[in-house]
Each structure stands twice: as structure tokens, then as C-alpha cells.
Amino acid sequence: MQNLGIDVLFKGTNMMRLLGGLWVSLRISLIAVLFSILLGVPLGILMSRKSRIIRAITRLYLEIVRIMPQMVLLFIVFFGTTRVFGWNLDAEVASVIVFSFWGCAEMSDLVRGALISIPKHQYESAKALGMNSLTVFVFIILPQTIRRLLPLSINLVTRMIKTTSLVMMIGVVEVLKVGQQIIEANRTSSPNAAFGVYGTVLLLYFIGCWPISMLSKYLEKKWNNV
Amino acid sequence: MSKREEIIRVDHITKRYDENAVLDDFSLSVHEGEVVVIVGPSGCGKSTILRIMNGLEPIQKGEVTYRGEKVDGKLGSITRIREKVGMVFQSYELFPHKTILQNIMLASILVQKRDRREVKEEALQLLARVGLSEKKDAYPRQLSGGQKQRVAIVRALAMHPEVLLFDEVTAALDPEMVREVLDVLLSLAKEGKTMVIVTHEMSFAKAVADRVIFLDGGHMEEEGTASEFFDHPKTERAKQFLHTFTYDKVERE
Ligand SMILES: Nc1ncnc2c1ncn2[C@@H]1O[C@H](COP(=O)(O)OP(=O)(O)OP(=O)(O)O)[C@@H](O)[C@H]1O
Ligand SMILES: [Mg+2]
């Protein structure tokens, strides 16, 4: 049988280091997700309002985030701003900033979309029962919005986790970078390590994202039509 | 009829969308215990009138009052008025994330702050009345159109409204479900409930109405008792309108 190069993972602390790298990836994405929700939800509610100015500004923000490759954003924040403003930015902090900036934009757009997809009649029949605007929003609109939102935002989370592989470009030692280091270190002893190690990284991403996307499928099924 | 207390008064109102006047100098008053049926061709402003009576639609001129109090969607008093002026729409909008029972109980608990147990007991009685007891824990998507509409009526009744506004509550239903919903309305009429009903079901209108209002082009074209209007319409427009509901026998060679 061919040597698949998995053996290097069982040398020393290699496997632990790889898992440590996975934790870095997950940590960055989870913190960024948290910020994206905290900032993106209010922003999305704001965006569903009719004000022209707010809509124009938020559209601009959204377009910028969508057009810019995440890598360029990372470089600007990490290399660009540290030079120009002379501050000292930790690579992981820079990553969280960039991912939050991106996630917040996507999240707000999802929230806006979910909010405006609630039929006008839902507001009206609630109002016709004597509910005031706040009650209508909290008890009628918000629960339906969250049901529509959750599967979509879970999808965003898995996209964010996957995209964290970019942060190694600014020196964050996350799972892919650790994998690379292990391969480099064992270049002579296990020349086939690339396959085994990268394959394992793939599997780790899968283990990280799969339950999340299963959860999203489950919720989608459970709440369908709602 | 006029000896009874006036509940809703629509006083010379004008309603425009952009430049189009949908209602022009329209007036109507609804008295306690009265069933007013509004009929008229599509687009003549029937739904608009009901929505205005409930403060869901702003007006440009005139005034609507509920027991002397101004009805205006922008005033804080509107929620209190809407508790008393129930409305059921054509498109049976139940709250999809709530069970049938929760749909019925929600506003009584949130808005009227009534005791949950008492509200539940009453909701169950109301459901039994429309023959849907076994659906209490179902979700709206599990019900047929006619069942949903009966729940929507019960949901409005649970607030103990003084007047009920019905906007073509059977228009979106399959023919075989129309009857079950109209029967509920007929039984409410028998109880002496005050109602304003917009409908295209002419034989139902004739059976239920104390007073019929024929609306055309934003004006009240004709007004009268059910038999006056249906058997002896005065205006040419009303005759034409009623004629659209009858079919002449096809003569064959
Ligand atoms: N939001 C709106 N913006 C502009 N025009 C509107 C709006 N809502 C209603 N209209 C117009 O107002 C008129 C009256 O509408 P309304 O819904 O009251 O008619 P209706 O008598 O209930 O008709 P139908 O029998 O079809 O339900 C129609 O000509 C309609 O096109
Ligand atoms: Mg209508």
C-alpha cells in the first residue's frame, strides 16, 4: 500500500498542534460571528426602514464588502493600517476585525431580507387585534424573522469558518498553517506528508462545519412554511 | 334603527392614493346591533372603507369616530379602539409560528392583560363553537382555508369586540368551504352582533343584511334594506351590478 503520510500526525505533539490550529480558526470565526450578530442585527433592522439616506449608506457598505476580496481586507487592516497609523495590531485581532466587518455586512443583509419577507398582512392582522408597534414586532415579526434567518445565518457561519484559512497569510497560525509547518518539518522523513496532513485538515474542517450545516437543515425542515 | 346608539361614524371622508380619489365625500354610520353589508364592483373602495374604520389607512379629509372618539392610526388611542373594532381579512393571516390556540389567546393576554386560564377556557369554547376543537394544538399550515378563516374569526371574537369588520372573508376560499365560514357569520348576526361585512356572496348578503350599501366609483350609489336593494334596486348602476350575478338561459336552436 502507498504511504499516505498520515503517520507524521502521530509523531510527537503534531496532532495536538493541528487541533490547536483548528481551535484558532474556530475562535476567530466564532468571535467574529458574535460581533456580526450583535452589530448586524440592529443594522439589518435599520436597513429595513424606508429612510433613503440609511439605505444608501448601508448599500455602499454592503457593496464594498462584497466586492473586496477578504484577503485584500486582511492586508489593508493588518499591513496597511499598522503602518499608516503606527499602531500595533495583533494578527488575530486584525482577523477578527476583518471577519466581523464582513460578517456584519452579510448578516445585516440577511436580517433585512428576512424582515421584508414577512407579509404586510402579518403586521396588519396583529395591529387589528389592538397590538402596539412594539408588541407586533417582538411577538409577531421577530419570531418569524428568526425562523427565516437561522438557516441562512448558519450557512454564513460555515462560510466564515472556511474562509479563516486566509488568515495564515497575515501570520496567524491556524489549522492550515500548522499543517504546513508539520509538512515542512518532516520533508525528508515523510515526503508524502502533504497528502495525509492536508487530508486531515480537510477532515477537521468537515468535522467543524458538518454539524452546523446539519443543524441548519434540521431547522429548515422543522420550520418550513413559517 | 336610528334610535340605537351610533357606534362608528364615517363623516364626509376623502381618501386618495397619490392623486386618485378612491373615496370622495363618503359618509356612513353604524349603529349598535346592526349588520351593514357593503357591495360593489371590484376596486370601488370597499376594503379601503373597512381599513379606514380601523385606522389602518390614513384619510385626507373628513373624520371617523368610534363612540365619539377619533379613529386615527397615528394616535395612541388607536390600539384601544382596535380592541373594540375587530377585523377579519380576506387572506386569513393567522400567525404561522403559533398554534391555533395561541393565535386566539395571544392578543387577549398581551393587549388586554387578561388572566391566562380564563382566556384559554374561553378560546376553547369559541373553537368548539366553530367545530375546530381538535385543531387547538395544530399550526395554521395544517388547516384548510375555511378552517383558517374560522379561526381568524374566533381570534377576533376573543377580544370581545363591539363591532366586527369582515373584508370578503370567503373570497379566497374554495366554493365548498364558503358555507362553513358564512354560517359562522350568520350565527353571529343572530346573536345581535354589530357587523360591517364586505362580500361578493349576494344570497348571503341578502340573508344577513339589515342594511345594504352599494358602492361605485368611491360614492355611495344606493342604500336600503336588503329586500329594497336586492328586489327593487333604484339606480341603473345597481341593476347592472346585480345583473352580473345572474345568468340568462342559453337559447339553443
Ligand atoms: N396601496 C394602494 N396604492 C394605490 N392604490 C390603491 C392602494 N390600495 C388600493 N388602491 C386602489 O384603491 C381602489 C380601491 O381599492 P379597494 O381595495 O378598497 O377596492 P375593493 O372595493 O376592496 O376591491 P375588491 O372587490 O377587488 O377587493 C382600487 O382602485 C385600488 O387600485
Ligand atoms: Mg377588497
pLDDT tens by residue, A14-58: 888 888 888 888 899 999 999 999 999 999 988 888 788 988 898
Residue A226 above 60 pLDDT? no
Q: What does the pLDDT look like over B169-205, one tens digit per residue?
A: 998 888 888 998 999 999 999 999 999 999 999 989 9
The pLDDT value given to residue A225 = 55
Considering chain A, what percentage of its residues have pLDDT values greater than 90? Answer: 32
| Amino acid (one-letter) located at A134 | L
Q: What does the pLDDT look like over B39-93, one tens digit per residue?
A: 999 989 999 999 999 999 999 999 999 999 999 988 989 999 999 999 999 887 8
Q: What does the pLDDT look like over B189-199, one tens digit per residue?
A: 999 999 999 99
How does DSSP assign A2-63, residue by residue? ---S-GGGGSTTHHHHHHHHHHHHHHHHHHHHHHHHHHHHHHHHHHTS--HHHHHHHHHHHH
Report CA dihedral (A103, A104, A107, A111) to the nearest 10 degrees.
Answer: 180
B93, B107, B112 ranked by CB distance to A121: nearest: B93
B97/A226 touch (CB, cutoff 8 Å), yes or no: yes
Chain A neighbors of B87, CB-CB under 8 A: 125, 128
The pLDDT value given to residue A216 = 83
Specify the range with the lowest mean pLDDT, choosing from A166-180, B104-118, B216-230. Answer: A166-180
**Residue A8 at interface with chain B, using a CB cutoff of 8 Å:** no
The pLDDT value given to residue A171 = 78
Closest approach of B55 to chain A, Cα-based (Å): 9
Q: What does the pLDDT look like over B150-175, one tens digit per residue?
A: 999 999 999 999 999 999 999 888 88
The pLDDT value given to residue B69 = 92
Mean pLDDT for all residues in chain A: 87
Question: Cell numbers of A92, please?
Answer: 488575530
The pLDDT value given to residue B1 = 47
pTM of the model as a whole? 0.83
B17 Cβ closer than 6 Å to some ligand 1 atom:
yes
Question: Cell numbers of A10, please?
Answer: 502521530
B54, B97, B106 ranked by CB distance to A128: nearest: B54
CA dist A91 and A75 (Å) reads: 10
Residue B135 above 90 pLDDT? yes
The pLDDT value given to residue A121 = 92
Chain A neighbors of B104, CB-CB under 8 A: none
CATH class of domain segment(s) A6-224 = mainly alpha
Q: What does the pLDDT look like over A112-168, one tens digit per residue?
A: 999 999 999 999 999 999 999 999 999 999 999 988 888 888 888 888 888 888 888
Residue A179 above 50 pLDDT? yes
Contacts (Cβ under 8 Å, ≥6 apart) of B24: B14, B218, B219
The pLDDT value given to residue A2 = 61
CA torsion sign, A208 to A214 to A216 to A218? negative
Considering chain B, what percentage of its residues have pLDDT values greater than 90? Answer: 74
Average pLDDT over residues B89-103: 92
Considering chain B, what percentage of its residues have pLDDT values greater than 70? Answer: 99
The pLDDT value given to residue B6 = 92
Q: How confident is the model at residue A96 (pLDDT cuts 50, 70, 90)?
A: very high
Is B98 or A50 the better-scoring residue by pLDDT?
A: B98
The pLDDT value given to residue B138 = 95
Q: Sort residue B68 into left (φ over 0), alpha (ψ -120 to 50) or beta.
A: left
CA dist B11 and B26 (Å) reads: 7
Name the burial class of residue B54, with classes exposed (0-12), middle (13-18) and buried (19+) by CB atoms within 10 angstroms of its CB. buried
Q: Where are the domains of chain A?
A: 6-224
The pLDDT value given to residue A1 = 46
The pLDDT value given to residue A85 = 82
Q: Ligand 1: which atom is nearest the Cα of residue B215?
A: 21
Average pLDDT over residues A84-97: 85
Q: Ligand 1: which atom is nearest the Cα of residue B168?
A: 27
Contacts (Cβ under 8 Å, ≥6 apart) of A42: none
Q: What does the pLDDT look like over A131-142, one tens digit per residue?
A: 999 999 999 999
